[in-house]
Amino acid sequence: MVPLICIFCKYVEYIEFDLDLHLYQNHRIDLVKLPIGKGSLETRINYAIEEGRRVGINLRNLNKEAKHKLGFEYIIS
Ligand SMILES: [Zn+2]
């Protein structure tokens, strides 16, 4: 399973719906500040989720040491 990382606070979620909820509840202001031009909150949440998925895929591919350095040692390859 690909971990989905919250791009604002490093929170890790595996279920897209739960990250959506996390973003909505905790990062409305951060979402508005995203440099992606005009867009609804939903568009912004989707953008943040896709970025978080990209980060998650990259993190998963790191070796154990690199994960540890970044504080994501619990993410399994
Ligand atoms: Zn967060």
Q: State residue 75's pLDDT score.
A: 87
CA of 47 to the centre of ligand 1 (A): 14
Tell whether the model's pLDDT for residue 77 goes beyond 80: no
3-state SS string for 16-45:
HHHHHHHHHHHCHHHHHHCCCCCCCHHHHH
User: What pLDDT digit, counting tens, does each position of 24-45 carry?
Assistant: 999 999 999 999 988 999 999 9
Q: State residue 21's pLDDT score.
A: 98
List Cβ neighbours of 57 (8 Å cut-off, separation of 6 or more). 2
CA of 64 to the centre of ligand 1 (A): 23
Give the phi and the psi of residue 21 in degrees, each rounded to 5. -65, -45
Q: Give the model's confidence band at 58: pLDDT under 50 very low, under 70 low, under 90 confident, else very high.
A: very high
What ranges do the domains of the chain cover? 4-70
pTM of the entire structure? 0.90
CA of 75 to the centre of ligand 1 (A): 17
Give the phi and the psi of residue 4 in degrees, each rounded to 5. -105, 120
CA of 44 to the centre of ligand 1 (A): 14
